[in-house]
Amino acid sequence: MDVLPRPTSTTGKLTARATKYMDEFMNGLIQRNPGEPEFIQAVREVAESLVPYVLEHPKYEEAEILQRITEPDRIVSFRVCWEDDQGRIQVNRAWRVQFNNSIGPYKGGMRFHPSVNQGILKFLGFEQVFKNSLTGLPMGGAKGGSNFDPKGRSDREVMRFCHSLMTELHRHIGPDTDVPAGDIGVGSREISYMFGQYKRLENAFKGAMTGKGLSYGGSLVRKESTGYGCVLFARNMLQHKGEDLAGKTCTVSGSGNVSIYAAEKAIEIGAKVVTLSDSSGFVHDPDGVDAEKLEFVKDLKEIRRGRIAEYAERFPSATYHDKVRPWGVPCDIALPCATQNELNAEDARNLLKNGVQCVSEGANMPATLDAAHAFVEAGVLFGPGKAANAGGVAVSGLEQSQNALRLSWSREEVLRRLEGIMNNIHAKCVEHGTREDGSVHYVRGANIAGFVKVADVMAAYGIL
Ligand code: NDP
Domains of the chain: 1-70+441-464 (1.10.285.10), 74-205 (3.40.50.10860), 224-383 (3.40.50.720)
Nearest 5°: CA angle at 88, between 82 and 94? 30
Query: What would the mean pLDDT of 418-431 be, rounded to a whole number?
Result: 98
The catalytic site residues sit at 143
Question: What gap in Å lies between CA 186 and CA 202, rounded to an integer?
Answer: 22
Residue by residue, DSSP assigns 53-111 as HHHHSHHHHHTTHHHHHTS-SEEEEEEEEEE-TTS-EEEEEEEEEEEE-SSSSEEEEEE
Question: What gap in Å lies between CA 7 and CA 18, rounded to an integer?
Answer: 10
Q: Which amino acid is at 94?
A: A
CA dihedral angle for residue 248, residue 249, residue 253, residue 257, rounded to 10 degrees? 50
Which pLDDT tens digit goes with each residue over 339-395?
A: 999 999 999 999 999 999 999 999 999 999 999 999 999 999 999 999 999 999 999
Instruction: Give 449's contacts (C-beta < 8 A, 6+ positions apart).
Output: 133, 134, 425, 428, 429, 431, 432
Q: Which amino acid is at 435?
A: R
Report pLDDT for 12.
56
Banded pLDDT at 2 (limits 50, 70, 90): very low
Q: Is residue 190 within 8 Å of 112, Cβ to Cβ? A: yes
Which pLDDT tens digit goes with each residue over 433-462?
A: 999 999 999 999 999 999 999 999 999 999
Report pLDDT for 406.
94
Report pLDDT for 14.
78
CB-ligand 1 contact for 182 (6 Å cutoff): yes
Helix axes 345-353, 369-377, angle to 10 degrees: 30
- For the CA of 389, the nearest atom of ligand 1: 43
The pTM (predicted TM-score) of the whole model is: 0.96
- For the CA of 258, the nearest atom of ligand 1: 25
Within 10 angstroms of residue 270's Cβ, the number of other Cβ atoms is 11
- For the CA of 325, the nearest atom of ligand 1: 20
Which pLDDT tens digit goes with each residue over 268-285?
A: 999 999 999 999 999 999
Secondary structure letter of residue 301 according to DSSP: I
For atom 33 of ligand 1, the residue with the nearest CA is: 363
For atom 23 of ligand 1, the residue with the nearest CA is: 184
Q: State in Å: Cα 111 to ligand 1 middle.
A: 9
Question: What gap in Å lies between CA 328 and CA 114, rounded to an integer?
Answer: 28
